[in-house]
Structure 1
Amino acid sequence: MSNEPTSELPPVDLAAAAQMWADYRNSCATDPGDYVVEYFGDSAELAEALLHQVTHGQKRATSSLENDYLAENEPLPRVGSHWIACDGSGTPKIILRTSEVTLKSFDQVDADFAFAEGEDDRSLASWRREHEKFWKRTQQADFAKQWEPAMTGVPGERIVCERFEVVWPRS
């Protein structure tokens, strides 16, 4: 993860995402349900870098703060949910399906999950260091001031640990 974003994320191309979803849905035997359209990261450069890690096979997990979902009044990801990941220009590139979701305190995230995130050297120490920097940078000032690596794991302070698989385009 980059410590500082260098360029803002442009709007996603919703028409292209809808077409990608239609192509995927038409290839499925059963209705895959709904989807969201998202980026990885908080800058165009980070979105590109993390998407590259997914498309080249090493990144199969991601994490976010539960309070981000609460602040936006959005549901947490669930097993079987889909999302379309965009590159740094807002162009949809792949469709992901969530295969596992767990809620953990920061200090409960383990080395296996850090490795699955596929970032930096894939170690737990690196995961903790870079995610703490990222979340301190991207969260509300009050939250960032209160950040403690051994957060209690109560609702609003948990990490949403999500594993996924690439389902489109099919390989």
Structure 2
Amino acid sequence: METPQEHPESLPPFLLAFPGPLRDQLVAAVLSGEKVSTTGLLAEYEVEKEELPPVGERSALIDSDGREIAVLELTDVRVMPLGQVDLQHALDEGEGYDSVEAWRAGHEAFWHSDEMREALGDPSFTVHDGTLVVAERFRVVERR
């Protein structure tokens, strides 16, 4: 019998950012081991009517060309107010941030982008300290 590890196409997709240079940068950071965490908006799950992924779930890391690059396993999933994100989480995102303030500025620029606002269906969407975010930690279990 075939297992999901042998055929990642049977796994849910793990998507970082939108296709393009930012996704390519983030996928490379995952593959290098620099990126072991990511942060999304709880509102994204609500708009998509998706449940939060459980710890232990495996998913296929997808690049900008739609290719399955690796299999990831979630090791931690937390919902918290944006204002409670700490330095370790910001560092573990592997994007070169050296402070929570720099991490937040980078994420706010993404979350306030036209593309994200369109995806959320709210052209004036903005975040604040109380905005609920989903902080996920993961590990690469297989490279494709």
TM-score normalised per structure 2: 0.85
2:101 corresponds to:
125
Extract unaligned runs of 5+ from structure 2.
Answer: none
Equivalent position to 1:61, from 14, 32, 37: 37
Opposite residue 128 of structure 2, the aligned amino acid is: P
Contact 2:90 2:97 in 1 (8 A): no
Deviation at 1:22, TM superposition (A): 5.0
> Which stretch of the first structure deviates more once superposed, 131-140 or 105-114?
131-140
2:6 corresponds to:
23
1:163 equivalenced with 2:142 (yes/no): no
CA distance in 2, matches of 1:20, 1:89: 24
1:147 corresponds to:
126
Deviation at 1:47, TM superposition (A): 1.5
Contact 1:82 1:97 in 2 (8 A): yes
The alignment of Structure 1 onto Structure 2 pairs a total of residues equal to 139
Cα 1:103–1:60 change in 2 (3 A) is same
Cα 1:143–1:85 change in 2 (3 A) is same
Contact 2:117 2:124 in 1 (8 A): no
Deviations 1:95-150 (A, max 9, x none): 10000011111110000110111113343122100111111111248756352421
1:44 equivalenced with 2:20 (yes/no): yes
Opposite residue 137 of structure 2, the aligned amino acid is: R
CA distance in 2, matches of 1:22, 1:100: 20
CA distance in 1, matches of 2:13, 2:125: 30
CA distance in 2, matches of 1:166, 1:134: 25
> Alpha carbon RMSD of aligned pairs, Å?
2.5
Opposite residue 41 of structure 1, the aligned amino acid is: A
Cα 1:22–1:162 change in 2 (3 A) is closer
Equivalent position to 2:71, from 70, 95, 98: 95
**Which structure shows the higher strand fraction?**
2
Where has structure 1 moved over 6 Å in runs of 4 or more?
none
- Partner SS state of residue 47, structure 1: helix
Extract unaligned runs of 5+ from structure 1.
Answer: 1-18, 26-33, 152-156
Q: Indicate the percent of aligned positions where both proteins have the same amino acid.
A: 28
- Structure 1 or 2, whichever has the larger Rg, is 1
CA distance in 2, matches of 1:132, 1:144: 14
